[in-house]
Amino acid sequence: MSVRKLKPVTPAQRFRVVNGFDAITTDKPEKSLLEPKKRSGGRNNKGKMTARHIGGGHKKRYRVIDFKRNMFDVAAEVKTIEYDPNRSAFIALVEYTDGTKKYIVAPSGLKVGQSVMSGKKAAPEIGNALYLSDIPLGTIISCIELDPGRGAVIARSAGAFAQLMAREGKFATVKLPSGETRLILVTCMATIGAVSNSDHQLLVSGKAGRSRWLGRRPRTRPVAMNPVDHPMGGGEGRASGGHPRSRNGIPAKGFRTRSKTKSSNKFIVERRKK
């Protein structure tokens, strides 16, 4: 994977950094795995705007991703590596020996023609999905389940990965992308390898219009508002705005909002760094 810096032929292109897309093998998605994607524009069922800064954007179709990887002990061949407009990671189209086609989140290093498998018989190799009880300690993993059979919910975005640190009894200790260390049941599944498209963080949009293409509307800086609109508004001239906080007064930059009575607190071995 690589990035390309464009020639400054226009002011917008001057700082633009785009993905090289050298890992992508096709631009035609699998029709049977596409679904329509409706947009709300940030409005509720009464048409009232309840989420700001949402609206517009290019029309998309949702790619149905297999996060459960529950076709156990059946080999599948990687047919294509594709771009997905709904996520930062690339996706891979795999075809099982019985003819079933599915999309999976593509791990880094996955190639067309490679064979992937999930379940007890699968080897701990890139793209295979195994139970945490069967993965060697120290392995880099991604697309991790939090509840057995529910499907992957952790480490799914571009370049994300976790590490399997230890196992004891029915729990495995996993170091998550945030730096948090957590206990997860060994009956949960994970995919071997880090998620693809790690260069995603290096991209630079170059112009405001590109945010509009992605469905993001302009956001007013809180310090430019009046006191009636935001806790950081008001003041004479370019006042700094006081302590950074959200519109409803919750402090930003280090203030912990996690509930002290949350039931899953007992599974967190070490909190993420401040």
Q: What angle do CA 184, 187, 191 make, to 5 degrees?
A: 80
- pLDDT, tens digit (0-9, with 9 covering 90-100), for 91-148: 999 999 999 999 999 999 999 999 999 999 999 999 999 999 999 999 999 999 999 9
**Nearby residues of 129 by Cβ (< 8 Å), 6 or more positions away:** 69, 116, 117, 118, 119, 122, 143, 189, 190, 191, 192
Are 134 and 124 in contact, with CB atoms under 8 Å apart? yes
Under 8 Å between Cβ of 131 and 121: no
Conformational region of residue 154, where left means phi above 0, alpha means psi within -120 to 50, and beta covers everything else? beta
Q: Which domains does the chain have, with CATH numbers?
A: 3-201+266-270 (2.40.50.140)
Dist CA 20 CA 17 (whole Å):
9
Distance CA 142, CA 162 (A): 6
Tens-binned pLDDT, residue by residue, of the chain (274 aa): 689 999 999 999 999 999 999 999 999 999 999 999 999 999 999 999 999 999 999 999 999 999 999 999 999 999 999 999 999 999 999 999 999 999 999 999 999 999 999 999 999 999 999 999 999 999 999 999 999 999 999 999 999 999 999 999 999 999 999 999 999 999 999 999 999 999 999 999 999 999 999 999 999 999 999 999 999 999 998 888 889 999 999 999 989 999 999 999 999 999 987 6
Q: What is the pTM of this model?
A: 0.92
- Name, in order, each residue with C-beta under 8 angstroms of 267's C-beta and a sequence gap of 6 or more: 171, 182, 183, 184
Q: What is the pLDDT of residues 18-41, one digit of tens each?
A: 999 999 999 999 999 999 999 999
